[in-house]
Structure 1
Amino acid sequence: MNKNFLKFAFLMLSALAYGQAGHVMQGVGSVNMSMGGAATAQPLDISGALQWNPAAISVFDNKILDFNIGAFFSSPELSGSLPEGAMGQGSPAVSGITKDDRGASPMPALAMVWGKEDSKHTFGASAFGISGFGVTFPEEANNPMSSTFNPNLNSNPMNYPQAAGGFGHLESDYMLLQVGLAWAYEVTDNFSIGVQPTFNYAALELAPNPTASPNDAGYGISDKASAIGFGAQFGAFYNAPGGIKLGASYKTAQSFSDLEFKNTHLDDSVSENAFNMDYPSILSFGLGYSKGDIDFAMDYRYVDYENTDGFEAKGWTQTGSVAGFGWKSINILSVGLQYKGIEKLPLRFGYTYSSNPIDDELAFFSSPATAVIANAFQFGFSYPLTDNLRLNGVYHYGASDGKTEGEIMNPRMASPTNPYGAISGSKVGYEMTTSMVMFGVSYTFNKK
């Protein structure tokens, strides 16, 4: 019984989570998500505090358990077009849009804090799905290899069969589970510091796998490769008597071992390759204010993709594999407001803005990772079921800021004057919306 329960718990906590800022989740749990992810200086719940500032858990003076589970829906669209002659002399111009058919994905989060009113020490533990991306774009049926091919109808060259120069069926699954063990120390009644070692498990599956070199039949389809990573987070938190709160934290880059893929090609041959993809460092600054029925929070984050393995490199290798995503570092702004004027029903409103890590000229390389949301809006609530048990909920809606669009690339066309092998006159683009419903329960042990 215990063995089966632990296996079930691990599978739940390692479920795929979808990134909203590049591949970084904007928040964790119902309360933190409903505040737009802002918690560096406004720890309304233990999950948000453990995710963004371990020093902030010092405000909790009880043993508290928090569990959340949500259903996440995304609607990415991948578009592509080729000009006349791109597929050979006399070939027609083609264009089309392919819609994702993945469906819902689970989003779990589990956290616990141990605190005492008369102690300067507070401890916490968490298991969060903090990162992920995934798409499922089916192969284009209306393609040049089909006897019923009609270039005047919707025909997306990005999803042509590999033999016709496309990806074929394009699918990706990436997830990152992070386990943290936090300790906070109250230096004074108003100032705390915290540290949190982090342990990570990541898994990635790609069809086709562009990180591996193609053979004469094209790129292979990978199995699911996994990697272990380590890092840490450090934080400081100041809670002024007048209601002003200040916070800062730094999460180091999470260093991973290589993802080791086994790839099956279209001619049934097998190849192996290794690819390293770390999790970027994140610097956060927060401002909070609490007065009467109002709790306000605002966070600024800097996510350093430009110095992260897997995202720093860009373009093709000499053997035609993808060297890396080539993402830019991004800025994130999270704002949240909680109103407690309704008895037993605090309401929360959150907004999150994220800049786009993908340069237009490199849009092609991020086709398997289209989860880039510029603007996200959240509404949440809490309701006490008993003196010790509280129900939390949130609804999220996000959208990309227009289409990320560039040219289609072909490694065979790469040259000193055309380093990425761009096909002149071609286009590839993607945009998406996301929605999520999440509920959680927070239980306070021996609440006074």
Structure 2
Amino acid sequence: MQKWRHLLGVSLTALSLAATAGVAHATDGYFVEGATARDQSLAGAGSADPTESLTIANNPAGLVDVGRQFNGDISLFMPWRGYDASANSALIAPGSYNSERNAFVLPALGYSQPFGPDSAWGVGMVGNGGMNTTYSANIPHAACGFFGFPQQGVFCGGRAGVDLNQGLIYVGYAQRFGNVDLGIAPVLAIQTFSAYGLGAFGAFGLSQSPNFVSDHSPSYSVGAGVRAGAIYHYSPALTFSVQGSTPIWTSNFANYQGLFAQGGSFDVPATIGAGLAYKFMPTFTVMLDYKHIFYSGVASISNAMAPIGIATMGSANGPGFGWKDVDIVALGLEWAYSDRLTLRAGYSYSTNPVTSANVMLNVLAPGTVTSHIGAGFSYAVTQNSAFDFSMLYAPRVGVSGEEYIPPAIGGPPGGYVPGTNINTWLSELEITLGYTYHWDTPVAVVAKY
């Protein structure tokens, strides 16, 4: 047992570092739709019907309901993103261009163990989300020569883009009080960020720290917060859940203090959510979930892009991506077709955080998708172990708006340029393979015909 716990701890630490070293996710804004194959096949539903140890990353109250088990999942995430800019755009390169690097890998691990019949603990590591764009250095931009920049590219700085990656480590405890489960899980965040090709914003004097805007090595940040939840078992067929997380307060990205508001601050937003699960039959469950993400609580994300003035970037009220809070509704269906095979499907809709007034900067962070369609299955190879599979697809959605020219570049008065148009867009496909091992043999629910 001691060797197993040591190995689990080492694995969680190693994989959390791997998750922040070059992985990107972007679904509900930039938050993942779910940590596991089951979560994703249900399109994020299921908080009121926990079956896996990685419930700790959604509703830690569920730890008391899942027994002793291990979960391991690995996702192949494929985002396609880009922008289209009208021919009279000046600051951003005109034309239609796709971001490169369209495949990323993300691991997740979880372990839960009961203390007794009415309490349990667990640990988990998940990728919370992230964002990546990588635009070629060879994108032609006639304005670069006019402004005196030797390079081409989206913003006359060669290869342009960002890499944001967030990994979360949870340690949680849950207790049952009659028909109510309560759970709490402190969380440690490890995140990295890098930006490249954005030097023009510093060169024009738009940042209060012009040497810390772009083209530095990845900057690391750590922080902590708390996730908690409750599950109410109204009857054997009907359960309700509530859950949420405080903001995860993190250290600043020191290498990018001239890019992000508040000197490089980039906390993880708070969330709240609720759900219900109803078993129409012992083998068929319908799940409905709601979640709200408070992007407005993080200045670097929510501050409006404009106006961008002299030495405003990196300041307390400096420009951000202008993202709005996001509301998500998810519907999931799960059918135990046999004692070995369980089928799942789900659909979710989220409001769009990106607005037309902030499109120009959001070519770097096009979190524009709104619909997610999931499907998957679990297949039990033994009484104690099962493989899980899911596919989650988000159709292409774009947001359009006028180009914004800062006064330092366009001369007074600067501002939005009538007649210009920038459309930034995103679509996604995620394929996840998972493995679950139960030490306690679960009770088989067999379909009756």
* Aligned equivalents of 1:415, 1:141: Cα separation in 2: 22
* Aligned equivalents of 2:409, 2:64: Cα separation in 1: 55
Cα distance change on mapping 1:417 and 1:377 into 2, 3 Å: farther
How far residue 424 of structure 1 moved from its aligned partner, in angstroms, is: 2.6
Cα distance change on mapping 1:52 and 1:160 into 2, 3 Å: farther
* Aligned equivalents of 1:373, 1:165: Cα separation in 2: 24
* Aligned equivalents of 2:76, 2:153: Cα separation in 1: 37
Conservation of the 8 A alpha-carbon contact between 2:347 and 2:372: yes
CA-to-aligned-CA distance 1:290-332 (integer Å, 9 cap, x gap): 2321011111011111122322322325325362222111101
1:54 aligns with 2:52: no
Aligned to 1:240: 234
Residue of 208, 216, 225 corresponding to 2:219: 225
Conservation of the 8 A alpha-carbon contact between 1:192 and 1:238: yes
Conservation of the 8 A alpha-carbon contact between 1:13 and 1:127: no
Aligned to 2:107: 108
Residue of 247, 251, 254 corresponding to 2:248: 254
* Aligned equivalents of 1:39, 1:211: Cα separation in 2: 46
How does 1:11-50 map onto structure 2 within 5 Å?
11-15=17-21, 16-47=23-54, 49-50=55-56
* Aligned equivalents of 2:391, 2:90: Cα separation in 1: 45
* Aligned equivalents of 1:6, 1:233: Cα separation in 2: 18
Q: Secondary structure at the match of 1:325?
A: coil
1:197 aligns with 2:186: yes
Cα distance change on mapping 1:252 and 1:414 into 2, 3 Å: farther
Cα distance change on mapping 1:288 and 1:210 into 2, 3 Å: farther
1:129 aligns with 2:127: yes
Cα distance change on mapping 1:220 and 1:132 into 2, 3 Å: closer
Conservation of the 8 A alpha-carbon contact between 1:143 and 1:160: no
How far residue 19 of structure 1 moved from its aligned partner, in angstroms, is: 2.0
How does 1:131-146 map onto structure 2 within 5 Å?
131-144=129-142
Conservation of the 8 A alpha-carbon contact between 2:257 and 2:263: no
* Aligned equivalents of 2:12, 2:56: Cα separation in 1: 22
More helix by share: 2
1:347 aligns with 2:338: no
CA-to-aligned-CA distance 1:184-223 (integer Å, 9 cap, x gap): 11111x1111111111011001113479733589964222
Tell me the amino acid that sits aligned with residue 79 of structure 1: D
* Aligned equivalents of 1:115, 1:443: Cα separation in 2: 15
* Aligned equivalents of 1:119, 1:211: Cα separation in 2: 61
Conservation of the 8 A alpha-carbon contact between 2:346 and 2:373: yes
Aligned to 1:422: 416
Tell me the amino acid that sits aligned with residue 408 of structure 1: E
* Aligned equivalents of 1:211, 1:59: Cα separation in 2: 54
Aligned to 1:334: 330
How does 1:138-217 map onto structure 2 within 5 Å?
138-144=136-142, 161=151, 166=156, 168-188=158-178, 190-209=179-198, 213-214=202-203
How far residue 417 of structure 1 moved from its aligned partner, in angstroms, is: 9.7
Aligned to 2:311: 319
Tell me the amino acid that sits aligned with residue 230 of structure 1: A
Conservation of the 8 A alpha-carbon contact between 2:52 and 2:69: no
* Aligned equivalents of 2:349, 2:229: Cα separation in 1: 23
Show structure 2 runs of 5+ residues with no match.
1-6, 443-449
Aligned to 2:374: 378
Tell me the amino acid that sits aligned with residue 213 of structure 1: G
Tell me the amino acid that sits aligned with residue 117 of structure 2: S
Aligned to 2:86: 81
* Aligned equivalents of 2:338, 2:412: Cα separation in 1: 64
Aligned to 1:155: none
Cα distance change on mapping 1:209 and 1:123 into 2, 3 Å: farther
How far residue 171 of structure 1 moved from its aligned partner, in angstroms, is: 1.7
Residue of 286, 310, 315 corresponding to 2:300: 310
How does 1:267-306 map onto structure 2 within 5 Å?
274-290=263-279, 291-306=281-296
Cα distance change on mapping 1:25 and 1:5 into 2, 3 Å: closer
Residue of 372, 391, 402 corresponding to 1:407: 402
Conservation of the 8 A alpha-carbon contact between 2:169 and 2:187: yes
How far residue 20 of structure 1 moved from its aligned partner, in angstroms, is: 0.3
C-alpha RMSD of the superposition = 3.3
* Aligned equivalents of 2:234, 2:16: Cα separation in 1: 40
Tell me the amino acid that sits aligned with residue 250 of structure 1: G
How far residue 98 of structure 1 moved from its aligned partner, in angstroms, is: 0.4
The TM-score normalised by the length of structure 1 is 0.84
How far residue 400 of structure 1 moved from its aligned partner, in angstroms, is: 3.7
How does 1:385-396 map onto structure 2 within 5 Å?
385-396=381-392
Conservation of the 8 A alpha-carbon contact between 1:338 and 1:349: yes
How far residue 416 of structure 1 moved from its aligned partner, in angstroms, is: 13
Aligned to 1:154: none
* Aligned equivalents of 1:286, 1:211: Cα separation in 2: 46
CA-to-aligned-CA distance 1:148-174 (integer Å, 9 cap, x gap): xxxxxxxxxxx9956996454222111
Conservation of the 8 A alpha-carbon contact between 1:247 and 1:287: yes
* Aligned equivalents of 2:239, 2:12: Cα separation in 1: 38
* Aligned equivalents of 2:355, 2:228: Cα separation in 1: 31
How far residue 87 of structure 1 moved from its aligned partner, in angstroms, is: 5.4
* Aligned equivalents of 1:288, 1:417: Cα separation in 2: 58
Show structure 1 runs of 5+ residues with no match.
89-93, 148-158, 265-272
* Aligned equivalents of 2:164, 2:20: Cα separation in 1: 10
Cα distance change on mapping 1:162 and 1:234 into 2, 3 Å: same
